[in-house]
Structure 1
Amino acid sequence: MSHWDDARARAALRRLFDAAVRSADPRAILADHLPEPPAPSSGGRVVVVGAGKSAAVMAAAVEAAWAGVPMQGLVVTRYGHAVPTTRIEVVEASHPVPDAAGERAAARILQAVQGLTEHDLVLALISGGGSALMPLAAPGLTLADKQAVNRALLACGATINEMNVLRRHLSAIKGGRLAAAAHPARVVTLAISDVPGDDPAAIASGPTVPDPSSFQEARAIVARYGIDLPPAVRAHLDAAEDESPKPGDPRLARAEYRMIATPLMALRAAAREAEAMGLTPLILGDALEGEAREVGTLLAGIARSVAAHGVPVPRPAVLLSGGETTVTLGGAQGAGGRNGECLLGLAASLAAHPGIWGLMADTDGIDGAGSNAGALATSDTLASSRDMGVDPIAALAGHRSHDVFQALGDLVITGPTLTNVNDFRAILIA
């Protein structure tokens, strides 16, 4: 077995992460998924709309692939994620807490798809973050109501799917309402999944697909987490007057959904890269959920089994997983996202176990509220952070994982990657 030292392991983990992100780059993959544009003889128009962290780069990829096709439209992306376009307008707005710029963009997007004919094509470019970037409130609700709900959801420990059930029932554009507004035009959605299970209804809260959930489910989520809602929001949920389009709704009969990048596709790309480096990859799953530090503890147990017994995979190996963990803040408001917290949970459980390294990062380049994508841990993480004057266990308890990895110089910093297939976790066992 070849020797894996610290430098080689670190480089290998970063190479795996880069391969995962590269596999979801719209500039490389989108063109193969485009539908046929309307025939010029039909007089049909192409209207491009979209929302998400990848919306602008997806729009640029559409323009490049359809250089000779007349089109118009508007997409909204996160601040700092715009790229140059010529025919499709790009607007930037706030994420994860929505703002007025996103509200205005969502209203314009909804207006852009109205009054179309059966000869027209609506191309919807949907990616992670689209829910917060299109905060068009249901009648009777305000942007301030939506912002308050978003803050409460981010802090309560709800899963991303639960968050989106509630969001769909407070919106004038999500939960299939965008596609319904475009009827009778053909609607083709190109989507990049950032949610466990790749449920189209959960990606950006499903603006172009039927919504299988109900007001009753939304109220149950509120009760489960004890979410404190603004009075107008509670009244809207209790009234349950404007249910979202359901499967079988005739307004969505001409809506088609195409998944162009998913967490599993990214993990498979990383697995191929691992094999090229002489590592045995094992994909544990693309939809791992749970409290971040506890998922880290679980992954540490699997890594120890590989190190001690070669089970469930022989060394040298890399354990790969995706999905979205949860950080329940409680009263603490520390610096550090879910990937940093999961990784510090792994490091704390492994203690000083030799020959195991981990990298955990968000494929969009931003973990939590920080400027880093994630971080990298080694067998020296705990001891070295103490030497730097940072107590790693106290940091874990206070949701301050960022402090640990920043002190060590082990933050993974990429800047915005302009894609998003959720979290990426790789644990190398030499």
Structure 2
Amino acid sequence: MKSSAEVLVLTVGTGNMDKLEETLFQPLEKSLNTGNWNEAVLLPSTMTEENARNFKDRMVGYSIQIKPLPEEGQENDADVCFSHFDRVLTELLEMGYEAKSITPDFTRGTKAMSAALVMAAVRHQIPKLRYIQGARDNRGMVLAGKEEVSEVATGRATMQRQIDDALRLMRSGAFAGVLQILPDVDGSKIAAALVPEEFHREINRLRRLATFWSAWDRLDYEEAVRCSKKLCKQDAEALDQEVTCVKRLAARPDQDKHADMAEWLRRVVADLLANGVRRIAHHQFEDALLRAYRIVELVGQIRLFDRGYDSAQIDPEDLDVREFRKYLQKKGSEDFGIKKENNREVLKASRMLSARFLKRLGDPLGKDLLNFDQNNGVTVKTIARNYSILIHGFSVADLDENSLSELYDRIRALLDKDCPDKTQGIGSDRFGIVP
């Protein structure tokens, strides 16, 4: 590895053909002698390749490579030059040189060559460039012997590009990607030292937004609330509606308060619906399917909470429950599950059993929940239970954007019957927004 080694990469021009010593070789030598280089790479055109070889011959004791443009005339084609220089820099990085240890000097050569070397350096996040300046004659040429070596940092350009990339990732819902490409300048002294201070505030802002949206997107509502408290004042005010929503989602009531649980779960269902729609848009089809299955199950649980029943702990002595169990026994149907809780037996209802119980109680959605799996087209049962490797199957489900969108339309229609004002989801049209 060459992690501590330094390499200088220089374009090679024609210089003044009558004064090559003063206009080309001496400036090249000055650049090479300014610094502690383990290696130098010369980038001539076919026209200036001989100049590069003559310079290499005179610089005895230096390790110098020559990487000329492949064909005549390419020195005026910026795209071709970029491709060639980009390959050279890639090779250096593959050899073990770090980006911070490579210094491109774009002084000589054509304008196309200079521009191409700068673009290739920025592409590889090389932090510094070099050029020769100094007093000029009446032709605008730097006077021989008056050359000065100057350096320019690329950090501002590359960091702004990273911020632009982070904004695109944020708006597409790739919140973990935002945290990966933006350095933690608040938590790492090394990162803070490497990033120009003028970007620290914006980077911190975007990272805090990403952690807020990420926690909410993975349904960790309590963590999202904690993250919302770290948002800057401007973002907290701009996202007041979203922060209020996530606080309501995080405010889970006691499970024995059935009416409160029903109200809270309707908010959760709305959020799951919006979450699933995002998964479809991102082609995370299996994840969208899991959410669809859970939403349908939750509707049954919500309707039971409305009627004073918790599907996870039903009193076996309840009169309606006792009558329903007699009915199940008469039909030869599967009974409730039984579990011990606080030294007493309670009953558990599956999704389908909840639907049957609701129908028995006269709930108008009981029949819809029972028939949900029987409709033509894409259904929760035929896909999730029989095919999905994440549920009960052994292979990936045969899913696509259209079929899942159809499934979600049917779920939305079901939710319309339960509570019409909740079906639009929470923040679904603004999720991932950057104020």
**Shared fold, TM over 0.5:** no
| Greater relative contact order (Cα < 8 A, sep 6+) | 1
Q: Which has the higher strand share?
A: 1
Greater helix content: 2
